[in-house]
Amino acid sequence: MKPAYPFPKPFVWGVAMAATQIEGAATKDGKGESIWDRMGATPGKIHNHDTPAVACDHYHRYKSDFALMKKLGVKNYRLSIAWPRIYPQGRGAVNQKGVDFYHRLIDSMLEHGITPWVTMFHWDLPQALEDEGGWRVRGVTEAFSTYADTIVRAYGDRVKNWITLNEIICFTKMGYGGGDKAPNTNEGDRVVNQTYHHAVLCHGLGVRAVREYGGRGARVGLTDNSNITIPLMETPQDIAAAKQAFVQENTRILEPIYRGRYTTEYLRSAGANRPTWEKGDFDLISLPTDFLGMNIYTGFYVRAGRRNAPEIVPLTPNYPRADAPWLYLVPEAMYWGPRWVNEIYGVKSIYITENGAGYDDEPPVKGELFDIHRRNYVRTCLKELHRAVTDKVPVKGYFLWSFMDNFEWQDGYSRRFGVVYNDFTTQRRTPKLSAHWYQKVMKENRLI
């Protein structure tokens, strides 16, 4: 009997987490305030008044966390570096204690046989930079350039897989355009479009840093949470409509990165709210990358409407979703997302850098937690990913979000994405059913 749903060799399997969500030690050893520290300290902004001040206490427990990763068969870990731990004010003096912490962290990972995949920026803008204007102003790009140079120079001898930014839409549109992410303002399209431009410019500056200081074998890419469009029916008309819609939905990020420009359609629709840029910006933004990371949780259906124009099909109120209210369970996104970026932009190397499901898990009973619902959704997503690989879409790896329950941004500690349960009072880690299942998947390189 042939193994069910085998993945090609080599295929990278891993887990992912982010600094703000797990480290804690929010003021330890000279770390500066981030916009999420400020938001957590503002009444009414975070569920249950939770803050990232302690989180999973990974700052002090990273060695035991890596030992647990090793026990569960994890060989690749996507993490992020906290910008305000390196530059407490976003620029200026380097905090050597912060630099030294990540030296110890990376060394410990390698000692446990775990390969680091480092994200430069995962939403934790230093509050001092936000006070200067944050992503609204061009000064943030100059500060990011120095920060990127600093961390690549410091860790590039051991880190060979770099990700510039995580989910641009979440700290631009959802941060400044009325969403629920820090800094939690609502400033209109002109500001939002400018924050997008500064973000993709920082991506280019991160790529430049890796090319200049990453050393031999260094690779770099972006992690994007593209809006995934799925044909309602797999007919030529609906497929063409969904493909067209994918470009429209992701035009502010993928077009400048892969085509070195904004589309005429986007600039026309933006009108007076279009972003401004300087000569040479698009040369930096479109610097060649080695891969694209895709964070895929959900998607939406599209059909060919009048004159075959794309038409979004609304989901019914009883369509299944996780406890995270935004997470509609649409596993087909895992097939169509990678397919679109390969077909449209010619991306030759794709990694799923996040995928998972957020539920309000109850505590373990007698050391066990049967999160079958999470396991089943992830398994169905991986079936769709297997379909993509079978269709020659160049997917090279998959990182499960997340290794353990953590500070889930505006949802605080109520929403759990981890395959390892974390008791935030005792900081005791308990692997769930999904962790034991995923351990077998990674070991056997196939679905179980």
What are the φ/ψ torsions at residue 80 (nearest 5 degrees)?
-125, 155
Beta bridge partners of 121: 165
DSSP state of 403: S
Among 119, 171, 174, which residue's Cα sits nearest to residue 402? 119
- Of 39, 132, 120, the closest CA to residue 83 belongs to 120
Count the neighbouring beta carbons within 10 Å of the beta carbon of residue 319. Answer: 10
- Sequence-distant contacts of 275-282: CB under 8 A, at least 24 apart: 275/193, 275/194, 275/196, 275/197, 276/194, 276/197, 277/197, 277/201, 278/138, 281/197, 281/201, 281/204, 282/256
Q: Looking at the annotation, which residues are catalytic?
A: 167, 354
State the Cα–Cα distance between residues 123 and 25, nearest whole angstrom. 17
| Nearest partner of 155 among 79, 89, 90, 84, judged by Cα | 79
Sequence-distant (6+) residues with CB within 8 A of 364 are: 421, 430, 432
Token code pair at residue 2:
């042939």
The answer to whether 134 and 39 have CB atoms below 8 angstroms apart is: no
For residue 64, give the amino acid letter: S
β-strands 76-80, 12-16 pairing = parallel
Dihedral (Cα; 173, 388, 243, 171), 10-degree rounding: 10
